[in-house]
Amino acid sequence: MMRARLLSAFVLLGALGATTTGCRTDSTNIQAWGSKSQGPRKLVAVLTHDKYPTDLRIEAALMLVSMKPRGGRRIGIQGTDEQPGLIDALAQMQPASRTAIVARLVPKLQTEMLKPLPAAQAGVAVADATIPYKDAAFAILTHDDGALLTDEGLRKGLKATLATWAATNFADRLDDTSQMFGMEQVLRELKADGVRSLPDLIVPGASKIDRMSQLIADFGDDATKAKASEKLVTVALEVNSAKWIEQKAGVVEAANKASKRNPAPEQFKAQLAQYQEEELTHVLTSMKKVGGKPAVTFLLGFAQDKTQSEKRRQAALAALQGNLDKKDTSHAQAVLAIAGASDTPDPVRDLALARVGELPRPLVIDKLYDLFKDPNWKVRQVAAQLVLKMSETPQLPEFFTNLGKADNMTITEALRYGALLSGMKGTPTPAEVAEKYAASGHPVQNRLAALGYYYTVGTAADVGKVSGYTSDKTATPKCKADAKDCDWKCEVQGEKGPETKEVSTLGEFVEYCVKPAMEKNKAAK
């Protein structure tokens, strides 16, 4: 309210001044006022008084836009608490008068926005003189939900100019802190129209590819995202090439000289490889943001390529997160092939199985059960965990059927499967399933997993449900000779403190592992 009263007073003062001095005000005055402390007040008076020629009023408006910031604030556009700027002045004008001024002003702002940037002088960048015109244009477009610019044709044209401005010198303008409205704020307003031309900027060697990709992911339409996806594949192929290594050798060599490093040839080669890997990872991360068929096809092929390093294959699989087509069987087959290959490194396999976990159960369940036969127990464990996470208790019979055929089961598996069983939904309840499969008559693998349920959620009150198994002499599975982390052992509290007990039977598993855990669970409650 105070702001409005002040503004009305200034406009009235301007009107009174116009009565006596309007005939003497000309372009020379407008130019002079641009650098004066009271300049904004006088320029607003000219802008808002309809007795001045329209051309002079437009010139006053442009002078307000171009005024240098004071105290970090563009007072010509934003005004201050004591005096209005361009936007408040326009807002207080009568609609008919404002519409006439805006119709003439907006094309002038567009012209200024599209002027080419001057070349850097002596290697020093020159300030972007188009920014205040962009800020004024955006403020007019968005102020009070667009109330200052009601002509739809003008609005459409101004949005197109803002989009062109944003795509020009994108990297520098993105980070230019002198703007009233940052690039992301502008593009958020323009939405799909604002980012439509950004894919053309995604080329090998371009900067800010990651930021462009995020903006396209946030605001782009399907066609824009598809084009960006294609462009990112082109960049990835370039970065992963021998040509790229050759081009960057000089950069790395210069960095070594600047740091007074003198690496041996093999060390220099390793530096280049690391540099390439880091740059490629950045591109793959951008692919994750944008997605799209071209990127997904590339990432799947890259992840399956055994000539690529383990880290690069991991990066490709990580970039596929959330981007696989849940209806495309070829996507499922690709990640399952990686997970099931005997020569897949464990970290790569883990990520492949994580991607499998994002796919619909019917598409992958049979292949996951096939992995129960893998000689590496860790492969089976990850696959089994996925099966349990994507299943409900009515589907557990098929899980136990496959688990009962698994060789070399470990104590880690028994405890982990039991823990996952405890959180499952459906009828019968997890407790009923555990009681059923813990009983004799089932394969020992199933019984151990079911007893693992009590290890996780059982309490002292439930000890009676498992005590009868302490004398069970059924042998626990044997680990393969070369298996890692497979020992059947549990730590118990002895007379002299903690001691490790070998677990060779199901009864010992209950006595040394399950019952002590149940008693601790009671103590914890």
**pLDDT tens figures, 165-207:** 999 999 999 999 999 999 999 999 999 999 999 999 999 999 9
124 beta partners = 121
- E strand or H helix at 499: strand 497-502
Residues whose CB is less than 8 angstroms from the CB of residue 18 and which lie 6 or more positions away in sequence, other chains included: 25, 45, 46, 49, 51, 52
Q: What is the pLDDT of residue 19?
A: 41
Q: What is the pLDDT of residue 37?
A: 86
pTM of the model: 0.83
Q: What are the φ and ψ backbone dihedral angles of 497, each rounded to 5 degrees? A: 115, -170
70 beta partners = 73
Res. 444 pLDDT band, cuts 50 70 90? very high
For 120, 126, 315, the CA distances from 123, given in Å and listed in that order, are 6, 9, 38
Rounded to 5, what percent of the chain is helix, strand, coil? 65, 5, 30
User: In the predicted model, what is the mean pLDDT of the chain?
Assistant: 92
Give the DSSP letter of residue 82: S
Residues 50-72, mean pLDDT to the nearest whole number: 94
**pLDDT tens figures, 81-91:** 888 999 999 99
| CA dist., res. 415 & res. 413, Å (int) | 5
Q: What is the pLDDT of residue 123?
A: 65
- E strand or H helix at 489: strand 489-494
- Whether 295 has a pLDDT exceeding 60, the answer reads yes
Look up residue 227 and give its two tokens: 């084009």
The crossing angle, in degrees rounded to 10, of helices 430-438 and 411-422 is: 150
